[in-house]
Structure 1
Amino acid sequence: MGNSVSAFSGVTPSDKVNPPPSCPMHKKTPEEAAPPAPAAKPSECPVQHGNDVNPYNMMPPANQQPAPDQPFNLPTNRQVSSIPRAMPDGSTEFWVYPSQQMFWNAMLRKGWRWKDEDIKPKDMDDIIKIHNANNEQAWQEVLKWEALHAKECGHPRLKSFGGKATDYSPRARFRNLLGYELPFDRHDWIVDRCGKDVRYIIDYYDGGELDNKYQFALLDVRPAFDSVENVWDRMKVTYMRYRYDLLGSKEEKLSQ
C-alpha cells in the first residue's frame, strides 16, 4: 500500500502454537482464569495518535471494534510473527500482527475513506497477508546484517519501530535524483543487539506483480549512518558485494 500501516504486539514463545485473537493473549472466563500475570501492552500501526500510546511502537491500545459505518464484518484473529521482541525485563516474546479489523481502524485514523474505493472482504485479507509478508521479509534482511555480529550476539531482537512514509531517507532522495522512483514506505526499526540498540532504515519499493507468497515489495534494508560501527558494517558489505560481483563476472568469462 502507498501508506502502509505496520502493527505488532507481543506474545511469549509458548503462545506461538495458538495465536491470540486479541492482544496479548486469550482472555479467559473467571472460572478458567489462572492467577493474574502482568500483561504486555497491545500494539498497532506505528503512528502517534495521542498521549495513551505504547512507547515501543507509538500506537494507542488495540481497537478490535467495528467502525460505525463499516460495510462488512472483519476477522479479529491475529498472526504471531517470527520476529522476537525485546522486553524491558529481558524476556523474549514474539511480535503479533494486527487483525483485519485493527488494520481497518488504523487506516481510518490515517484519513482513509473506504467509500471512495470498491473494497471487498477479500481485499482486506490480501492487505494483511502483504503487510505480514513485508515485515517477515524485512526481518530476514535485518538478520543478514546482524550475522556480522553473530559472535557478539546470537539472538538479536526487535525492540521498537516506527513508520516514516513521507520522511524519505537521504539514500532514497539521492536515488530519486538519479531517476529512480521514491519508496512507497519507510520504517525505522530499533534492534536490541544483546543490550546495544541498533537502528535500521527500511525503504519499501514497488516490485510489481504480487507473487504467491504475497510479496511484491523490494526492500532496501541497512543500518543507519548514526554510529561508527554501522558505517563500518556498511563499508564491509559494500566491499564484499563488489568483490563477489567482480569475482563472479571473471568466473563467468572463464567458463565461457
Structure 2
Amino acid sequence: SEGGSGGGCPVDHTNGAKRPVYNVYNQQINPENMMPYNPNNEPYPDQNAPISQDRVSSNIPKGGTEGTWLYPSPQMFYNACKRKGKAEGFDPTSAETVVAIHNNMNERTWMQVCEWEKRHPDQQGVSAPKLNRFCGKPDDLSPKAYLKSLIGYPEPFDRHDWYVLRGEQEVRYVIDYYYDEQMRNTSDKPPSLMSTAPSNILVDARPAVDSFSTFVDRIVMFPSRALAAMQ
C-alpha cells in the first residue's frame, strides 16, 4: 500500500528536533505558512542572460486562504536549480519554457486530484478542496512505482506528496511523474497554463492508502483509470 508517513520530507518530528523545511524548489520555508523565508528572485552571479522575474498565479486553491498558490518565477526556478547543483546545461534563455511546462504539470496534477475529490462532495462543506501543503520526494519510490519497475516499467523522474484539505480533513495524495517516451522530444511551451494538449510528462495522482476510505476510492476508480491509460 501507499499508507504510512514514509521518509523523504525533511522534517524531523522526533525528540522535539526542528530541522529546516524546504519546498520542492529547494527554498527554505516557514513551516507555519509553508512560504519561503527569503525567495531569491535576483539574477544568479554567473548568469549570462536575463530571465523573467514575473510570477504566475496558479488555479490551485491554497489552504487557509481565499487565494491560490503562486508559482515561482523563471528566475527563482533557475536559482533553485543552481543551488541544487542541477543547472548543468541549463540555458537561462529556456527557463521560461521549462517553468511553463512545470506549471502546466502542476495544473494537470490538480485536475486529477479534483476528479478523485468528486467522490466526496458531502465532505467538502461550503468550500472546494484546497492544496494545504506539499513535499517533494524525488528519491523515494512510491510502492506503486516500485512494483511497476519490477515488471519493466520505467521509474518516475519525480514524486510529490500533496496534502489536500477536504473540508476539515487533510488527505494525502501521491503523485508520480513520468516521461512519455513516445513524446520524449516534445518540449514546446504549453499554449496555456491550463492546457491539456499532449505533453511529454505523464501524471499519476491518487490518494495514498492511509485509510479505509482511500482504499475504497482506489478500488472503485481502478477500472476507469486503467481504461483511460490504455486509450
Query: What TM-score comes out, normalization by structure 2 length?
Result: 0.76
Which of 183, 200, 205 is matched with 2:178 structurally? 205
Write out aligned runs for 1:4-19 (5 A).
none
Q: Equivalences for 1:38-49 in 2 at 5 Å?
A: 45-46=23-24
Alignment partners' CA distance in 2, 1:136 and 1:241: 19
The secondary structure found in structure 2 opposite 1:105 is: helix
Larger Rg: 1
Unmatched runs of 5 consecutive residues or more in structure 2? 1-21, 192-198
- Show structure 1 runs of 5+ residues with no match: 1-43, 246-256
Two-structure CA RMSD over aligned residues (Å): 2.4
Rounded to whole Å, the distance in 1 between the matches of 2:216 and 2:99 is: 36
In 2, the alpha carbon distance for the partners of 1:96 and 1:155 equals 18
Aligned to 1:233: 217
User: Following TM superposition, where does structure 1 have runs of at least 4 consecutive aligned residues deviating by more than 3 angstroms?
Assistant: 56-60, 239-242
TM-score, normalised relative to structure 1: 0.69
Q: Deviations over 1:131-165 (max 9, x none)?
A: 10000000000000000001221500000001111
Shift of 1:213: 2.8
For residues 58 and 110 of structure 1, what CA distance do their matches in structure 2 show? 19
Structure 1 position 226, deviation (Å): 1.1
Is the CA contact (8 Å cut-off) linking 1:58 and 1:162 kept in structure 2? Answer: no
Deviation at 1:211, TM superposition (A): 6.0
Q: Does 1:165 align with 2:143?
A: no
Contact 1:64/1:76 (<8 A) preserved: yes
1:61 matches 2:35 = no
Alignment-derived partner of residue 189 in structure 1: 162
* Percent of matched pairs sharing the same residue: 38
Q: Greater relative contact order: 1 or 2 (C-alpha under 8 angstroms, separation 6 or more)?
A: 2
Tell me, yes or no, if structure 1 residue 147 matches structure 2 residue 124: no
For the structure 1 residues 241 and 137, does the alpha-carbon distance in structure 2 shift closer, same or farther, using more than 3 Å as the test?
closer
Aligned length: 194
